[in-house]
A and B are shown apart, each in its own frame.
Chain A
């Protein structure tokens, strides 16, 4: 299998957050000080990646309203659908790719042994989902809108409501973990993690947008979040 005529559009590392972003205090001791070593000639190791078409999913893996109920009841909070399309920078849909997500409950509490926030756990909510995109690159989840929560950064830092979204894409070069925020949340412009991005347009790429057309009357609202992964290029000429 040769990958020699395939490339991905270079990552714009001024668009992405820098490693060192002192307003986000944990990054200070976890950011490399040396320059990244650029691979001008990516190899099969970088141009390939896992395909999860044969990972067996459970019936409710993408339905957070039902995947932690133990058959006893529904979680508390705003019922929402979260859906969108994964595509590359040329607008090409990315079908059958793994999308994973995790989040806090309606009160901003994570079901993780290290989260000691005083807001209670919801006995019917786990906060984990996964699915594959369909033939057109669409993914969908049903969940509860997460609550904001405090964290020890500045004297009084609060994360905006957010859902962590992880996308594989066709190669380890396209691999991306991001966070989706809810448009209009006044905590967004105050957040040191959002502030790691220099360009306000880059922040816009992380907004989930209210989508009334796809909301279900008397049932749940919908938020749309499209994810763009690096564009795949074919090189026009071989070497020599």
Chain B
């Protein structure tokens, strides 16, 4: 029953500012080198792990593919992951050997692949009590994406942990679960995980709401 002058609780909150696409030129604001403009002394970029970071050093690479199967060459991707011990240390500091946060882009160069230099994350506890399998949270922004898409990258060689992961288990379709598993490659002693993000259609990547 609404009393006079009573408001639903939702109206006592401010409304979140609405999202808009990052547009075709996001790189000039968020990835200066990729836009071909001078960089500042410190940029937030894709070297999350320096050589002295603790843990297994890996490269993570991938493409972003649209509903026609074409490469998206103007995507901006943000990564957030635990360190090798499964901890999140929010403090971003370029003097540290490892930062949990990174940014990368796709352009017309480098085969339109994004890439991150990082370490393999440790497992993180789920509030339900179980451990989540090692994963990297990725957010995808681009022209044509009205509100960023949030996904998770898991590792194909973590079969056991992936099977037990309470978040992966929430995805009913096994075929869809597979879209979150990065494939391991090794060349010249560098371990690389490949994770192609399919925005739409065949093999569409799972995106989360949280």
Contacts and interface: CB of A to CB of B under 8 A. Distances in A.
Query: Which of B66, B126, B145, B146 counts the most chain A CB atoms within 10 A?
Result: B146
Interface string B91-118: 1111000011100000000000000000
A45 B92 contact: no
Contacts of B132: 43, 45
Contact of B80 (A17, A31, A42, A49): A49
B52 to A, nearest CB: 18
Contacts of A51: 90-92
Given A18-B146, A30-B72, A231-B13, A166 B37 contact: no
B148 A177 contact: yes
Nearest to A5: B127
A37 B92 contact: no
Contacts of B204: 32-34
Interface string A41-71: 1111110111111111110010000000000
Contacts of A218: none
A24 interface: yes
Contact of B144 (A29, A179, A230): A29
Contact of A21 (B24, B146, B207, B210): B146
Interface size class of A (residues with CB under 8 A): 35 or more
Interface stretch (B14-22, B53-61, B186-194): B14-22
Interface string A106-141: 000011111100000000001110000000000000
Interface stretch (A75-83, A168-176, A182-190): A168-176
Contacts, number: 264
Interface in B168-210: 170-171, 176, 199-201, 204-210
Contacts of B100: 50
A215 interface: no
A203 B18 contact: yes
Nearest to B172: A37
Contacts of B37: 111-112, 126, 128
B49 interface: no
A70 B62 CA distance: 37
A9 B19 CA distance: 16
Contact of A227 (B17, B143, B171): B17
A8 to B, nearest CB: 8
A193 B18 CA distance: 12
A229 B18 CA distance: 9
A115 B18 contact: no
A114 B14 contact: no
Q: At the interface, is chain A mostly helix, strand, loop or mixed?
A: loop
A214 interface: no
Contacts of B206: 34, 37
Contact of A206 (B13, B18, B78, B128): B18
Contacts of A126: 28, 37-38
B32 interface: yes
A50 B80 contact: yes
Query: Which of A17, A100, A102 counts the most chain B CB atoms within 10 A?
Result: A102
A110 B16 contact: no
Interface in A212-233: 227-231
A45 B124 contact: yes
A38 interface: yes
Interface string B141-174: 1111111111010000000000000010011000
B92 A55 contact: yes
B131 to A, nearest CB: 11
Interface in B1-26: 13-26
B135 interface: yes
A31 B209 CA distance: 15
Given A32-B199, A50-B99, 8 more contacts: A15-B15, A30-B199, A50-B90, A87-B14, A112-B28, A115-B25, A128-B32, A128-B37
* The 5 nearest A-B residue pairs measured at CB: A102-B29, A26-B144, A30-B144, A17-B146, A50-B101
12 contacts: A9-B13, A26-B21, A32-B207, A36-B207, A46-B210, A51-B90, A52-B92, A53-B91, A91-B14, A111-B37, A114-B25, A177-B22
